[in-house]
Amino acid sequence: MLQIPRPIYEQMVTHAREGLPLEICGILGGKGEAVVEIRKMTNTDSSSQHFMMEPREQFAVVKDFRSRGLEILAVYHSHPATPARPSEEDIRLARTPNISYVIISLADSLLPDVRSFKIADGRVSPEELKIFV
Amino acid sequence: MVLTVNGKTTTLEDVEPVPIPALLERLNVADPLYVTVELNGEFVDRNAHEITSVADGDTVEFLYFMGGGER
């Protein structure tokens, strides 16, 4: 299970909406299952169908988190026009072990669909996502 | 040689500098083609991995590219 405080959840959805028509991406940091921090990242692809995080930003986040006893708990990205399920590309590039992959679908612009998955060795497992106050 | 890898002290039997691909192999890193590397705080371009070596005392960070897409 991945637990996200509502303010961070809303920042994530707002990030996705503001990024339209492009895909956006970011990192959720925390401890255990509980997210405590969101980092919006640069999508170097600047695409409506793909994302690739800027690696220098990734290194900076990893080192900052480590220095404060936090870990990367999840990577999030948006699907501007398709459902919140991992694409073949998402699965192929999901190489970081033991993290969650959160997808924000804006296919229904009025009702964003946010789902979390574990992806390992090409296998996708839906994961419970708890939004708490 | 003694390195700091992803924040942890790591000892290799090697004495001479080790190219990055060989380092990733020694560390048993899975899917090394999807790894990006920083050496002593400097980003190492993927095209330079083969010609860049680590030596005693170096600080190495590596992580996986994070990417994907709806199609």
Q: What is the ipTM of this complex?
A: 0.91
Query: Confidence band (pLDDT; 50, 70, 90) for A51?
Result: very high
Cα-based distances in Å from A104 to A15, A84, B3: 10, 6, 39
Q: Which residue of B has its CA nearest to A88?
A: B71
The hierarchical CATH code for the domain B2-64 is 3.10.20.30
Which residue type is seen at A10?
Answer: E
Q: Where are the beta strands (DSSP E) in B1-71?
A: 2-5, 8-11, 18-19, 35-39, 42-44, 53-54, 59-64, 67-68
**Whole-angstrom Cα distance, residue A7 to residue A87?**
27
3-state secondary structure of B30: coil
3-state secondary structure of A76: strand
- Provide the chain A residues 60-89 that lie in CB contact (below 8 A) with chain B: 62-63, 66, 75, 77, 79-82, 86-87, 89
3-state secondary structure of B27: coil
Q: Which residue of B has its CA nearest to A90?
A: B68
pLDDT of residue A4: 98
Minimum-distance CB partner of B71 among A59, A75, A87: A87
Q: Do A59 and B63 touch (CB under 8 A)?
A: yes
**Whole-angstrom Cα distance, residue A80 to residue A102?**
14
Q: Do A89 and B67 touch (CB under 8 A)?
A: yes
pLDDT of residue B69: 85
* pLDDT above 80: residue B71: no
What is the secondary structure of A6-74 as a DSSP string? HHHHHHHHHHHHHHTTS--EEEEEEETTEEEEEEEE-BTT--SS-EEB-HHHHHHHHHHHHHTT-EEEE
pLDDT of residue B70: 78
Per-residue pLDDT tens over the stretch B37-57: 999 999 999 999 999 999 999
Q: Do A95 and B34 touch (CB under 8 A)?
A: yes
* Beta pairing, strands B8-11 & B2-5: antiparallel
Query: Confidence band (pLDDT; 50, 70, 90) for B58?
Result: very high
Q: Is there a contact between B62 and B6 (Cβ–Cβ < 8 Å)? A: yes
Rg (CA), chain B: 13
Residue ranges and CATH numbers for the domains of chain A are 2-132 (3.40.140.10)
State the distance between the two ends of chain B, measured CA to CA, in whole angstroms.
Answer: 44
Residue spans of the domains in chain B: they are: 2-64
Q: Do B67 and A56 touch (CB under 8 A)?
A: no
Per-residue pLDDT tens over the stretch A1-49: 999 999 999 999 999 999 999 999 999 999 999 999 999 999 999 999 9
Per-residue pLDDT tens over the stretch A94-127: 999 999 999 999 999 889 999 999 999 999 999 9
Q: Which residue of A has its CA nearest to B34?
A: A95
